[in-house]
């Protein structure tokens, strides 16, 4: 991510020297993926490609066992391997190949859990994104010349991604120089719930909404 961002920033002349591009790219890449929430530069002005890459990195997050947010790097490694096995299974149905990570075979139940987790994250992200874009008035975007109303959809997506993955700063109106204060009360409640879901990794919160969880037998 640092290499790709550095080349992109230098080619687009965001910074005058390649050293500056590397320095800022490295810091922002680390702070986004480790979800520490720091910001030394306003990366909302880095261009669409850079913002798209940062948005993707918000979902990846830290390593397994860390206190960082996001979906964790190991889940992405497993997900890619699962997809590869399923594609191979399509044209070689008789081949039985165990899923291995770092030479250790992964149980099928874990494969199922990873796919379910990715599906839940995708479902929660899309539904929350649409809800937030619907309930938020466009007043803020209309009042600020530097933020057009057309950017509202991307800003809402950034807000959902940032809170769901416990990142802190987002893109657009939620950059490192701004905050979430302009959101409506309903929007803040939704984003707070997303923060809880992301911090506790979904299942600890979602089980509370399953009626069978409260039954004694």
Q: Examine the pLDDT at 146 and tell me if it is beyond 70.
A: no
Instruction: Tell me the pLDDT tens digit for each residue of 67-118.
Output: 888 889 999 999 999 998 889 888 888 888 888 888 888 888 888 889 999 9
The pLDDT, as a whole number, for residue 168 is 85
Q: Examine the pLDDT at 142 and tell me if it is beyond 60.
A: yes
Other Cβ atoms closer than 10 A to 197: 21
Other Cβ atoms closer than 10 A to 24: 20
Q: Examine the pLDDT at 151 and tell me if it is beyond 90.
A: no
Element (H, E) at 70: none
Q: How far is it, in rounded angstroms, from Cα 33 to Cα 51? A: 14
Question: Among 74-88, 113-127, 138-152, which stretch is predicted with the lowest mean pLDDT?
Answer: 138-152
Q: How far is it, in rounded angstroms, from Cα 100 to Cα 124? A: 29
Q: Examine the pLDDT at 24 and tell me if it is beyond 90.
A: yes
Q: Examine the pLDDT at 191 and tell me if it is beyond 90.
A: yes
Q: Which residue has the tokens 């539904």?
A: 127
Better pLDDT: 173 or 159: 159
Q: Which residue has the tokens 């950017």?
A: 151
Instruction: Tell me the pLDDT tens digit for each residue of 3-20.
Output: 999 999 999 889 989 999
Tokens (6 digits) for 209: 């909404």
Tokens (6 digits) for 55: 């948005």
The pLDDT, as a whole number, for residue 109 is 84
The pLDDT, as a whole number, for residue 105 is 86
Instruction: Tell me the pLDDT tens digit for each residue of 26-80.
Output: 999 999 988 888 888 888 888 889 988 999 999 998 888 888 888 899 999 999 9
């Amino acid at each position: 991510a640092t290499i790709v961002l550095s080349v992109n920033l230098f080619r687009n002349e965001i910074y005058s020297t390649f050293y500056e591009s590397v320095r800022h790219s490295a810091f922002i890449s680390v702070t986004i993926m480790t979800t520490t929430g720091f910001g030394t530069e306003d990366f909302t002005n880095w261009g669409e490609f850079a913002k798209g890459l940062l948005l993707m990195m918000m979902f990846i997050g830290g390593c397994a066992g860390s206190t960082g947010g996001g979906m964790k790097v190991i889940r992405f490694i497993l997900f890619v391997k699962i997809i590869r096995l399923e594609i191979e299974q399509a044209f070689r149905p008789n081949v039985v190949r165990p899923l291995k990570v770092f030479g250790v075979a992964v149980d099928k139940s874990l494969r199922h859990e990873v796919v379910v987790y990715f599906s839940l994250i995708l479902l929660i992200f899309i539904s929350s994104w649409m809800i937030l874009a619907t309930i938020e008035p466009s007043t803020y975007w209309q009042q600020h010349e530097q933020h057009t109303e057309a950017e509202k959809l991307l800003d809402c997506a950034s807000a959902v991604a940032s809170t769901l993955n416990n990142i802190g700063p987002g893109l657009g109106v939620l950059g490192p120089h701004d905050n979430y204060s302009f959101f409506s009360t309903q929007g803040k409640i939704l984003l707070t719930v997303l923060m809880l879901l992301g911090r506790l990794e979904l299942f600890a919160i979602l089980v509370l909404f399953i009626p069978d969880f409260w039954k004694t037998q």
